[in-house]
Structures are given as C-alpha cells and as structure tokens.
Amino acid sequence: MKEDAPVERLTPREIEVLKLIATGLSTKQIARSLNIAFKTAACHRARVMGKLGIHEVANLTRYAIRNGYVDSGGASTHPNERQAELLKCIKVAELKYRTAMNEYGAFLRDRESIGLATPDGSDGARKLRRAEQAAHEEYHAALVALKELLSRQWDGKSA
C-alpha cells in the first residue's frame, strides 16, 4: 500500500469490485456478474488497485478483510450481500453451463449430420464433454452454497 499518500475514497462500484476480487472472481467473471463490459470491469479493477496502491490479489483480499468488506472466508460480511454475490455467481455459472451444453449439443448434431456414429470417440467431443461437466459442477456448487447460506439464515430466524 502507498506509504506516502493517503488512500483515496473508493466509489460504491469500486467497493463492489473489490469484494468480488476478494471472493476470487476474475475480471471476466466480475464483468459478467455485474452485467458490465470486460473493459469496464478491468478499468474498475485498475482504479481500485491504483487508489489503494495494492497490485496483488492476495493483498487486495487482505485489505478487504481488514476493512470489513469480506470475512476471512472471502464472504461478504452482510448476509444479504453474500446472498446477492451467490446469486451473481449462480448466474455466471448457469451461463457457462448453458453455453457448454449448447456447444456440445451443436457438436453432436454436426457429427450426426455427416453420418458419424460415435460422436464421443474424438478428442474434440471429449474436450467439449469435459467442459460441459466442469461447468455443471461449478453451477451445482454455486447452488449448494446458496442453499447452505439460506438454510443457515432460516435456522437463525427459526431459533
């Protein structure tokens, strides 16, 4: 962090980006989750780093924890914020999963249209299938995390 200059005040959007960085999202994932262009997300990220004088993700995460933006597990400190972040992650994961399923389906249709009987026998098919499976696992993990958060909130309210 800059020693010789005071930290500039972060805008609400920059704080939102800082939280997402601290939770481990890439610039591309941040752009998707905030429904903004990649370049805009990259610009916000650069401004956060410039204002704080911190240029490593690990140090940004430590800063976010020290200043109460996220907890030590990378979750937002407010349950509603964590829920909103999980919903954004679910949207991103769902988009990846749909895209992977569509690409794999299109590949299978193309192979069938030229008369190939074993579509899963090629390297291309295996690669697309693995991508679809990985996207499904990411989507499922995001849904499970949201379910666990909601269960904890429900248990706390019903106690």
Q: Does residue 143 share a domain with residue 85? A: yes
Number of domains in the chain: 2
Residue 11 in contact with residue 62, Cβ under 8 Å? no
Q: Does residue 84 share a domain with residue 60? A: no
Q: Does residue 85 share a domain with residue 154? A: yes
Domain of residue 44, CATH code: 1.10.10.10
Which residue range forms the structural domain that includes residue 89? 79-158
State CA 58 to chain mean position distance.
16
Whole-model pTM above 0.85?
no
Q: Does residue 92 share a domain with residue 52? A: no
Residue 32 in contact with residue 95, Cβ under 8 Å? yes
- pLDDT, tens digit (0-9, with 9 covering 90-100), for 56-86: 988 988 888 888 887 665 555 555 666 777 7
Residue 33 in contact with residue 24, Cβ under 8 Å? no
Within a domain: 140: yes
- pLDDT, tens digit (0-9, with 9 covering 90-100), for 81-137: 667 777 787 888 888 888 888 888 888 788 777 777 665 567 777 888 888 888 888
